[in-house]
Chains A and B, each alone.
Chain A
Amino acid sequence: MKEKLNAKDRIIAWPRMGRIDIPLKALVQALGAKVVIPPANSNEALEIGVRNSIEGICLPYKLNLANYIMALDKGANTLMMFQAPGSCRLGNYTKMAQKTLKQMGYDFDMVIFDMYKSKMVQTLQAFWHVTHCLNPYCYYKGFSLGFNKLFAIDTAERLLFYTRPREINKGDAEKCYHKWLKIADETNSVLKAKRLKRQVIEDFKKIPIDKNKKVPKVYLTGEFFVLLDPYTNQNIEKELGEMGVEVQRQIMFSDWLEHVLKPSIFYRKESHRKRCVRYAKQYMKRAIGGECIETIGDTVYAAKHGIDGIIHISPFSCMPEIVAQNILPKVSKNENIPVLSLVLDEQTGKAGYLTRIEAFIDLIKRRKNNY
C-alpha cells in the first residue's frame, strides 16, 4: 500500500467459514470499525475461486480467495485472516492470496495473525492494528459479545441436530434455527447476548418432537472448513437430518476457538483435542497437523459411546485427512464401527454423493436392528 490507511477509513472483511461472520462482525463493530461481509459461498463464488487459483490447491483456499475478491469488489480495503504455520497448507493461504490479489490489481491491506504458539497476544495485536481502539471496555464488549453469540449459535446448531430427525412438523427446527441466527446477529448488548444461550434452549424445547422415535446417531468428522461450511459439504447435516438421522459433530467453532485462544491453566474440563489425543493413542502417537488426530480420536470415542456410524469428509488432496483415511479402516475394524469416507472437490455431483450416504444409512439401520 502506498499511503498508510487510517483506522477510520478501514473497511474490514474476512473469509467465510460456517457462521463465523456473526460473532466477528459484533467484535469488530464494537471496536468501532466498518465491516463488509462477503456473500455466502455458492457456485458463483467457487467459479471465481477456481479461475484465479492454481490447480493443485485444496478447496478451502479456492473459496477463501473468492470471498476476498467478492469482499474487495464490495468496497473492503482490509482483509483479515488467521494462519497456523505447522498445520498444513493453511499456513500458506495468506501468502498466496496476497500475491494473487496483487497480481489482479487490487489495493488492500492484509492483517494476519498466527493461531499457533502465540495466540491471544497476536490476536489482540491484529485487532488493535486494524481498529486502533484503546478503550478496554470496547474490547471487553466485543469479545464478550462475540463469544456469547458464538456459544448461542453453536448451541442452536447442536439442538437443531437433535430436533431435526425427531420433529413432528417438518421444518420447525430449521425455522427456529434461522430465527435465532437472525436474533443473534441483531443483538447489540452484552447482557442480552449473555441471555441468548438460555433463550435458544428454551425455544427449541417448545418444538413438538417424537421422543420415543428410534434414531440412528452418526458422527461427522473430518476437515474443519468442510465440516463447518454448508455449501462445501452440500448441506450434509440437513440431508442426514431429513433422512431421520441424528447428526453429532464434535468440532464446533467455539470449542476450537476456546482451545486455541484460552491459556491452558483456565481449562475447567478436558478439551476436545486432549480427549482425542487420549483416545487415539492406540493408533497415533503424535499429532501430524490438521485435524487428523481429532478424526481418529473422535471415531474411537464414538465407537465406545454407542454411536452407530462415522461419516468422514475431507476436501480432495487434503494431506492430514489422507493420513486419517489410511488409518480409519483399521479403527473401523478394531472398534467395530462403520465408517464412510467422502472426498469433496469442486466437481462433486450431488446425486452420487447422496446415493452413497443413503446406502450407508441403510447399512447402519439394518445393523442396528440386528443387534
Chain B
Amino acid sequence: MKQQLIYKKIGIPKALSYYNNYPFYYGFFTSLGVEIVLSDKTTTAIINTGTKYVVSDTCLPIKVYAGHIINLLDKGCEAIFIPSLQSTGYKINNCSKIRGLPEIIRNVINRPFTMIEPTLDKTENINFYDFCAETAKALGITDKKEIKKAISFGWEIYDKFMEMTQSGINYKEALDNAINGKFIKKTVDIVKPLSVVIMGHGYNLFDERISLNLIKKLEKMNVKVYTSLNIPREKSLSALKQLGEVQYWANELELTGTAAYYLLKKKVDGIIALSAFGCGPDSLMVDEISYHCKEKGMPLIHLTIDEHTGEAGFVTRIEAFIDMLMRKKRSLIVKKADVVKIKREKILTGTVK
C-alpha cells in the first residue's frame, strides 16, 4: 500500500547545493512521487531581496539563497527543502554557513512555511541513508523499500549526469538531458588555442548571474574551459594527495582538487580562481593552490565577486589574463620554431654531422 504524502510539492531554491546535487534530488523526489518547484534564475532583483534579509557580512551565495527562498514563497510553496550538509566524511566538514543553512533561514525569514531540513553528518555517524530517510519522513514516507528505490533512482540520474559532463558536455545541456532521461556523448572535441581551468564552487560558477557568465565569456574568446565536473572525484582526490595536501573542506575537491589535477597533468595554460568575497574556505584553498602554482610556474588569477561586481572591470581582468596567456604560449612556440630553423640551417650548410 502506498503511503500518503504530506506535501505533494516541494520547493528547491536554485542556489548552493542545487548546482551540484540537483540530478540526485530530482531522481529522489520524483521517485517518491513529489513534484519539484524550482525558483527562478538568479537575477539582480533576487540578490537585492536576499540582501535585505541577512546581515551585511554574509557572503554572496547565502544572500542569493535567501533571495531564492523568498522567490519560492512568493510562488506559493509550502514546503522548502533546505539541507544541512555538515560533513561528507570523517572530519571533513563544510563551511559553517552551509552547515547552518536551516538555522539562518529559520531566523531571518519570518514567514510561515515548513522547512524540510535533513542533516548529513558523517563525523557524527549520520550517513547518507539517514539523510534521505529524514527527508522522506518529513514528506510522510517511512517505507524503507521505497526510500531505497528512490535513492537508487537518484544515483542513476546523477551518474548519467556526471558521465555526460565528464565527456565534455556543458553543465546546462547535461542537466537537461539527465532530467529528461536522455544520454548523449560528445564525440568531436574542438581543439582551441588556449585552455584554462576554473576553480570555483558549483554554485558560483554555474550560476550565470553570480559568475557574470564567465564560462561563456571565455568560450567567446576562443578558450577551452575545464571545470570540476570534467573529472571524476577520485582523480581529483589522488591529485590532491600527490601535491601533498590533505582534504579538509567538504567541497575542497571542486577547487583545490580540480586545480591540482590539471596542474599536474599540465593540460591547461592557466588557472582562474573564482570565489565570493569573504568566503572563508576559499581564502585558504586559493592560497594553497597559488603556492603550488608559483612552484610549477603556472599563471593564476583570483577573481573575487560580490553583489556589486561591475561587469566591465571583471571583463577587463579576464581579457588581460587571457592576453597574457596567449603571449606566453606564442613566445614558447616561437622559441621552438627558432630552434627548428637553426637546426635546418645547420644541416643545409653542413655544420651538423
Q: Is the CB of A327 within 8 A of B287?
A: no
Q: Is the CB of A116 within 8 A of B91?
A: yes
Stretch at the interface among B97-105, B141-149, B165-173, B257-265: B97-105
B98-124: which have CB < 8 Å to A? 99-100, 102-104, 106-108, 110, 117, 119, 121, 123
Complex partner residue of A317 from B57, B102, B246, CB under 8 angstroms? B57
B193 within 8 A of partner (CB): no
Q: Is the CB of A288 within 8 A of B96?
A: yes
- Which residues does chain B contribute within 8 Å of A285, judged by CB atoms? 102-103, 117
Q: Is the CB of B248 within 8 A of A55?
A: no
CB nearest to B275 among chain A residues: A56
Q: Contacts A56-B283, A317-B278 given; indicate if A327 touches B104 (C-beta within 8 A).
A: yes
CB nearest to B284 among chain A residues: A92
Complex partner residue of B284 from A96, A286, A320, A343, CB under 8 angstroms? A96
Distance, CA A86 to CA B89, complexed state (A): 11
Complex partner residue of B84 from A57, A116, A286, CB under 8 angstroms? A286
- Which residues does chain A contribute within 8 Å of B123, judged by CB atoms? 86, 117
- Which residues does chain B contribute within 8 Å of A230, judged by CB atoms? none
Q: Is the CB of B96 within 8 A of A88?
A: yes
CB nearest to A93 among chain B residues: B284
- Which residues does chain A contribute within 8 Å of B119, judged by CB atoms? 286
Number of interface residues of A (CB under 8 A): 39
CB nearest to A319 among chain B residues: B96
B87 within 8 A of partner (CB): yes
Number of interface residues of B (CB under 8 A): 38
Distance, CA A122 to CA B300, complexed state (A): 39
B115-139: which have CB < 8 Å to A? 117, 119, 121, 123
Contact with A along B266-289 (1 / 0, CB 8 A): 000000000000111111101100
Complex partner residue of B57 from A57, A284, A289, A322, CB under 8 angstroms? A322
Distance, CA A65 to CA B218, complexed state (A): 39
Q: Is the CB of B97 within 8 A of A85?
A: no
A41-71: which have CB < 8 Å to B? 54-58
Q: Is the CB of A326 within 8 A of B104?
A: yes
Q: Is the CB of B100 within 8 A of A86?
A: no
Output the least CB separation between B292 and chain A (Å): 10
Q: Contacts A99-B291, A116-B91, A323-B97 given; indicate if A89 touches B284 (C-beta within 8 A).
A: yes
Q: Contacts A284-B100, A285-B103, A292-B100 given; indicate if A343 touches B57 (C-beta within 8 A).
A: yes
Q: Is the CB of B87 within 8 A of A86?
A: yes
Distance, CA A325 to CA B119, complexed state (A): 22
Q: Is the CB of B100 within 8 A of A286?
A: yes
Contact with B along A111-128 (1 / 0, CB 8 A): 000001100000000000
CB nearest to B283 among chain A residues: A56
Output the least CB separation between B344 and chain A (Å): 45
CB nearest to A290 among chain B residues: B96
Q: Contacts A96-B287, A322-B57 given; indicate if A330 touches B107 (C-beta within 8 A).
A: yes
A289-343: which have CB < 8 Å to B? 289-290, 292, 316-320, 322-323, 325-327, 329-331, 341, 343
Output the least CB separation between A121 and chain B (Å): 16
Task: Determine which residue in B58, B102, B103, B279 has the highest number of CB atoms from chain A within 10 A of its CB, and name it.
Answer: B103
Q: Is the CB of A286 within 8 A of B107?
A: no
B51 within 8 A of partner (CB): no
Distance, CA A117 to CA B91, complexed state (A): 10
A243-300: which have CB < 8 Å to B? 283-286, 288-290, 292
Output the least CB separation between B62 and chain A (Å): 8
Q: Is the CB of B107 within 8 A of A327?
A: yes
Output the least CB separation between B207 and chain A (Å): 21
A216 within 8 A of partner (CB): no
Complex partner residue of B93 from A57, A289, A343, CB under 8 angstroms? A289
B95 within 8 A of partner (CB): yes
Distance, CA A105 to CA B246, complexed state (A): 23
A91 within 8 A of partner (CB): yes
- Which residues does chain B contribute within 8 Å of A95, judged by CB atoms? 246, 248
Output the least CB separation between A85 and chain B (Å): 5
- Which residues does chain B contribute within 8 Å of A88, judged by CB atoms? 96, 280
- Which residues does chain B contribute within 8 Å of A117, judged by CB atoms? 91, 123
Q: Is the CB of A319 within 8 A of B280?
A: yes
CB nearest to A331 among chain B residues: B107
Output the least CB separation between B12 and chain A (Å): 20
What are the 10 tightest A-B residue pairs by CB atom distance, in nearest-first order? A56-B283, A288-B100, A319-B96, A288-B99, A327-B107, A320-B96, A323-B100, A330-B107, A319-B280, A86-B93
Q: Which residues of A contact B (CB under 8 A)?
A: 54-58, 85-86, 88-89, 91-92, 95-96, 99, 116-117, 283-286, 288-290, 292, 316-320, 322-323, 325-327, 329-331, 341, 343
Q: Which residues of B contact A (CB under 8 A)?
A: 54-55, 57-59, 84, 86-87, 91, 93, 95-97, 99-100, 102-104, 106-108, 110, 117, 119, 121, 123, 246, 248, 278-284, 286-287, 291
